[in-house]
Amino acid sequence: MTGTVTGTLAGGVTEEAVLEVAVQAALRGPRGANPLVGAVITSAPGPGRPAEVVATGHHRGRGTAHAEVDALEQFRAGGHDPASATLWVTLEPCDHTGSTGPCTGAILASGIRSVRYAVADPTGDDGGGAARLRAAGLDVRQLSGALAGPARALNGRWLAARDAGRPFVTGHLAQSLDGRVAAADGTSQWITGPAARRHAHAVRSRVDAIIVGTGTVLADDPRLTARRDDGTEYPVQPVPVVQGLRDVPRDWLQVRSHDPAEVLAGLAARGGPWPHGGATPGHLLIEGGPTVLSAWLAADLVDELFVYQAPLVIGHGPSGLHWPANTTLGQARTLTLDEAETGGPRRLGQDVLIHLTA
């Protein structure tokens, strides 16, 4: 069966409420090379018993179980009847094999016969699985545009990056209360505490490349590895990338340009495979310094920004961003609080993590 769905589920549970549960589940996952996806399974109503949510799932990032599989595992553990259940997904189930198998196969094996999804899979010929599920006799429908709005908004920047043919880009900014990233003498280790650094290293572990400027390399001599608390390295390490014109004493990939677009072109020209697979990078991390991060922000190429705010006042020293000298508040750049992964502003030891999206 084709078409879209509107209205209220039998038993009084609205489709809006079910989809909101799926959206909130999706927001528990991290942003990156893959979209945020949430899934919900509802039971059928019966005499004196309304339809209810019996399982939820979400995608935890590249290489992990997709949201549908996560929800199906909970569903099976609960011993529910699949023939009378409905699977709701914020994004059309996939029908291709990447780092995990196709969700269509898991759905067909589950015995569930009814599927609802909000947003069509945008990945092209190897993407959406609605047609395969329908061909197998399942009742599969796409939700109406109004219902799909919150699910579509989940991945606005991810879709923009995909449409532009570029990686998803995360920015990193660790600063003092007065917006400094180092003292006047150049010392910067450490502005933030262990908990903030732990989170930053976890973010490093899931990206394909970390980009810094020549100034950062010459001043700080960074390692740019993803490390655990005990100093051991994560099993998958990002590629260190330097952008800028000065020579640096490291055998790292260097793109001799200050233009983020040219840096992206240089990374594409490198070829693959990248740490997490693929001929092109799927996720980049911009760690700075201030000139580099500002250039990527000004080019509207930062899809999410983690700001690690430390409770100290440095006084003099470089600021976290080098922004044009605007003359009025109306010229300021506005970012939006992002609830994905962090649930909003979050305390990390004595620091505060602020997660933003463009």
**Residue numbers annotated as active site:** 68
Q: How many residues does the chain have?
A: 358
CA 326 to chain centroid, in Å, comes to 31
68-71 long-range contacts, CB within 8 A, separation 24+: 68/37, 68/39, 68/93, 68/103, 68/106, 68/107, 69/100, 69/103, 69/106, 70/39, 71/39, 71/40, 71/41
Tokens of 13: 């549970």
User: For helices 15-26 and 145-153, what crossing angle results, to 10°?
Assistant: 10
- The phi, psi pair for 297, rounded to 5°, reads -65, -45
Q: Which amino acid is at 131?
A: A
d(CA 297, CA 321): 9
